[in-house]
Amino acid sequence: MPELPEVQTIVQDMLASDLLGRKIADVQIYWKRTIAFPNPNIFKKQIINESIREIGRRGKFIVLTLSHFTLLIHLRMTGKFFLNNQKKKTPHERVRLIFDDGRILHYDDQRKFGKWHLLESSNEKFDTIGIEPLSPSFTFQAFKALLNNSSQQIKPFLLNQRHVAGLGNIYVDEALWAAKIHPEQKAKTIGLSKQKELHKAIIDVLKQGIAYMGTTLGTQHANYFSVSGRRGGNQTQLKVFRRENLPCPRCETTLIKIKVAQRGTHICPHCQILD
């Protein structure tokens, strides 16, 4: 599932694909509900003839700055992009953008959870998104203040995009394992030294994810591919995620899978103890 490192890799791929300055000549919508805003007819009218001015990321959103609008895309579980010249519709294609050079950006989304928003300003959407964990504003002091202000369990706290932007199930499990914190520990009850370890772990697991160009799990129906169709490499670096019944890389205790806030959660029952 695309989280910050996967979205970052997609953005880097789009930038490397010479999409900047390209004009959108046409658009096809195969699943109307993918277009969250505005309604699909208005969306079509507004986006045709727009040019791509900037390509970026905010949290898990891909941000395409166009001539007059901002296109925000959230891939959720199974959204993917492929850029090529192939006109044939793929089985799970929901939207396609056709550029003035003939290339087609196919948006594939098996489970139809992904959403596109075409807005005049991205501000309204970004008001509710928290700190970028790889930006200078993600200081330990800022993170500590957020933790000390929440009685939520640490796992759902970290998954909540209002606090820290871009974390999902994979990188939260990895960061909590690295900091030796149980996912059900209440945020405000985490001690100072573990708060510091967690702050560092979040940055480390995300940077590693980007360095390995994302995490691709599974084979046939893998949930993440870059724009060029390349698989990520970070799955070989995971320490706990989807590694239940395997030994903990730190202490060799058998890793287990539990449920926290309705999410499948992977922990080492020896390293990650509730305080």
Partner DNA sequence: GCCCTTTCCTGGAAGC
Partner DNA sequence: TGCTTCCAGGAAAGGG
Active-site positions? 2-3, 60, 263
Give first-to-last CA distance, the chain, whole Å: 31
Q: Closest CB to DNA among 85 and 151?
A: 151
Closest CA to 93 of 16, 103, 104: 104
Residues 6 or more apart whose Cβ sits within 8 Å of residue 136? none
Residue 26 β-bridge partners: 98
**Only segment of 130-138, 193-201, 248-256, 257-265 that touches DNA (CB under 7 A):** 257-265
Of positions 5, 133, 156, 183, contacts DNA by CB under 7 A: 156
Q: Is the dihedral of CA 174, 181, 185, 240 positive or negative?
A: positive
Q: Could you please report the per-residue DSSP string of 107-139? A: EEETT---EEEEES-SHHHHTT--B-TTSTT--
Cβ 221 to DNA, closest distance in Å?
A: 5
Phi, psi of 261 (to 5 degrees): 50, 45
Among 51, 65, 161, 208, binds DNA (CB under 7 A): 161
Stretch that binds DNA, among 40-48, 63-71, 138-146, 147-155 (CB under 7 A): 147-155
191 is a site residue for DNA (CB under 7 A) = no
Give the DSSP letter of residue 10. Answer: H
Q: Does 168 bind DNA (CB under 7 A)?
A: yes
**Angle (deg, nearest 10), helices 192-211 and 140-148:** 120
- Smallest distance, DNA to C-beta of residue 25, A: 28
Q: Are the beta carbons of 212 and 204 closer than 8 angstroms?
A: no
Stretch that binds DNA, among 44-52, 73-81, 139-147, 204-212 (CB under 7 A): 73-81
80 contributes a contact to DNA by CB under 7 A: no
Size of the site for DNA (CB under 7 A): 32
Which of 113/212 has CB closer to DNA?
113
- If the CB atoms of residues 166 and 248 are measured against DNA, the closer one turns out to be 166
89 binding DNA? (CB under 7 A): no
What string of H, E and C letters represents the secondary structure of 198-245? HHHHHHHHHHHHHHCCCCCCCCCCCCCCCCCCCCCCHHHHCCCCCCCC
Residue of 103, 97, 37, 39 lying closest to 70 (CA atoms): 37
**Site residues (CB under 7 A) for DNA, limited to 101-130:** 110-113, 128
Q: Which of 121, 220, 236, 245 binds DNA (CB under 7 A)?
A: 220
Query: Smallest gap, in angstroms, from Cβ of residue 77 to DNA?
Result: 4
Q: Provide, rounded to whole angstroms, the least separation between the CB of residue 158 and DNA.
A: 10
49 contacts DNA (rule: CB under 7 A): no
Q: Which residues bind DNA (CB under 7 A)?
A: 1, 3, 33, 59-60, 74, 76-77, 91-92, 110-113, 128, 150-153, 156, 159, 161, 168-170, 220-221, 259, 261-264
